[in-house]
Amino acid sequence: MLTLGIETSCDETSASVVYAGESIRSNIILSQADHSKFGGVVPELASRAHVRNIIPIYKQALEEAQCQLEDIELISATMGPGLVGALLVGLSFAKGLAFATGKPFVPVHHIEGHLSANLLSHPELHPHHLTLIVSGGHTMLVEVKAFGEYRTIGQTKDDAAGEAFDKIAKLLGLGYPGGAQIDKLAKQGDPNFYKFPRPIIKDQSYQFSFSGLKTAVVLYVDKITEKEKSDSLPHICASFQEAVVDVLASKTVRAADELGVSHITLSGGVAANSRLRTVLSDRLKAKGKKLFYPEMSLCTDNAAMIASAGYYRYKKEGPGNLIANAFPYLPLEQIESEEKDT
């Protein structure tokens, strides 16, 4: 089944054609550059850029997949969570296409999309696994019993991991979004240069908190001179990153042990982080467990993961409703009830 996926939940306009949920025929991603000068995404600018770009990006996705609209058998688009104005552009476009052509339509939860990026990269993944979702807006540990059956066992009380990376990058003058930049600089730095706090690493819950760590970095940077800051930039990046990675990895390994699962995945933009991949992979390997993560281009927002999730949703429960709405806030466990209600 050839599926068209559309993703516009934040500042990426993306369209993709995927065969049978796992074979990518095209995955066009346009990252809007206009937001960096504002230090964050400006929702209204994002919506307008999606309106300008959605049709050319969709056409490019069909062209690269060497197919026509007639060949598409299923249409899927992100319904939330995300910026509501941005979501509405992709969702309305996809629903319009489905209505005009009579093709089935499936609305997709953005986080289920991030989870499905692992299905695109690793078809051998065990259906029952644990996933650490680390993105710009989420930090969650979720037990995946099978596709669509989720149990959240912990999440952040304040900032998401990606948000913490972005805020520290901004503080250090590395631009927005800065997670990848911190990762790059940290490679030349000493992770033990400064011991930043590991928030709630020892408590027995699977909750996370990054705002205290962020404050600790702010206070540290306030105390040093501009010269010291620029001289030790790679070390500050490496030390901050190490604290985030240590907390994420510790809790994930403990949860994997408790659940008795041997397959663990990373999902979301921060899954691209090289130190997180290495540390978590090594710690899990020592326990006889295996870490999976999506290939680089599928970690951050893209429509291939939406097409894949749409395909598996369709196989599970058939077409969704064409009056599906956009949701800025949408818990993962709520997907099915929202789809049925709309």
Ligand X SMILES: Nc1ncnc2c1ncn2[C@@H]1O[C@H](COP(=O)(O)OP(=O)(O)OP(=O)(O)O)[C@@H](O)[C@H]1O
- Give the residues lining the site for ligand X (CB under 6 A): 9-10, 82, 110, 114, 135-138, 162, 165-166, 177-180, 183, 268-270, 272-273, 300-301
Closest CB 268 distance from Mg ion, rounded Å: 6
Residue identified by tokens 């007639």 is 70
User: Residues with Cβ < 8 Å from 64, sequence gap 6 or more?
Assistant: 17, 25, 26, 28
Question: Closest CB to ligand X among 4 and 174?
Answer: 174
Question: Closest CB to ligand X among 104 and 178?
Answer: 178
Closest CB 148 distance from Mg ion, rounded Å: 19
> Cβ atoms within 10 A of the Cβ of 149, count?
13
180 binds, options ligand X, Mg ion, none, Cβ within 5 to 8 A by partner type: ligand X
Start-to-end CA span in the chain (Å):
25
Q: Could you give the CA distance from residue 247 to residue 245 in angstroms, rounded to a whole number?
A: 5
Residue nearest to Mg ion (CB): 301
Question: Closest CB to ligand X among 97 and 244?
Answer: 244
Closest CB 10 distance from ligand X, rounded Å: 5
Closest CB 187 distance from ligand X, rounded Å: 11
Closest CB 125 distance from ligand X, rounded Å: 19
Contact 237, 186 (CB under 8 A): yes
Question: Closest CB to ligand X among 54 and 98?
Answer: 54
Question: Closest CB to ligand X among 25 and 138?
Answer: 138
5 binds, options Mg ion, ligand X, none, Cβ within 5 to 8 A by partner type: none
214 binds, options Mg ion, ligand X, none, Cβ within 5 to 8 A by partner type: none
Residue identified by tokens 């062209």 is 63
183 binds, options ligand X, Mg ion, none, Cβ within 5 to 8 A by partner type: ligand X
Question: Closest CB to ligand X among 268 and 320?
Answer: 268
Residues that bind Mg ion (CB under 5 A): 135, 301
Question: Closest CB to ligand X among 177 and 310?
Answer: 177
Q: What is the DSSP string of 50-108?
A: HHHHHHHHHHHHHHHTT--GGG--EEEEEEESS-HHHHHHHHHHHHHHHHHHT--EEEE
Picking from 112, 106, 118, the residue whose alpha carbon sits closest to that of residue 142 is 112
Contact 84, 113 (CB under 8 A): no
Closest CB 179 distance from ligand X, rounded Å: 2
Closest CB 78 distance from ligand X, rounded Å: 9
Phi-psi sector, 246: left (phi>0), alpha (psi -120 to 50), beta = alpha
> Quick one: how many helices (H) and strands (E) in the chain?
11, 10
